[in-house]
């Protein structure tokens, strides 16, 4: 299961959050972005339940993270 997690981050904390995202198991890439979201993380997990756990217990608790939006990747 692949997903992109879009993240809103408290001002001044983007660099720290992106560095912390890169340490999370399942996060393949993490980057700062411009626009309505401050960062994006590419996440790969075995299933949807694991994806939910990574988002809820590893990404959302990172200091500075204010909001997340998870977008599942679908092959066509």
Count of domains for the chain: 1
Looking at the DSSP bridge assignments, the partners of residue 42 are 4, 29
pLDDT tier at 47, thresholds 50, 70, 90: very high
The predicted structure's pLDDT at residue 19: 98
Percentage, residues of the chain above pLDDT 70? 100
Three-state secondary structure call for residue 54: helix
Residue 8: CATH number of its domain: 3.30.70.920
Q: What is the reported pLDDT for 11?
A: 96
How far CA 55 is from CA of 49, 63, 65, 76, in Å, comes to: 10, 14, 11, 25
Element holding 39 (H helix, E strand): strand 39-44
| Mean pLDDT, all residues of the chain | 97
Q: Do residues 75 and 2 touch, judged by C-beta distance below 8 A?
A: no
Please give the model's pTM, rounded to 2 decimal places.
Answer: 0.95
pLDDT at 67: 98
The pLDDT score that the predictor gives to residue 35 is: 95
Distance in angstroms (rounded) separating the CA atoms of residues 59 and 55: 5
């Amino acid at each position: 299961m692949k997903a992109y997690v879009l993240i809103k981050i408290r001002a001044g904390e983007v660099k720290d959050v992106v560095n912390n995202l890169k340490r999370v198991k399942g996060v393949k890439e993490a980057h700062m972005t411009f626009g309505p979201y401050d960062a994006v993380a590419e996440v790969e997990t075995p299933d949807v339940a694991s994806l939910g756990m990574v988002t809820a217990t590893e990404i959302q608790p990172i200091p500075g993270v204010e909001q997340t939006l998870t977008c599942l990747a679908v092959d066509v």
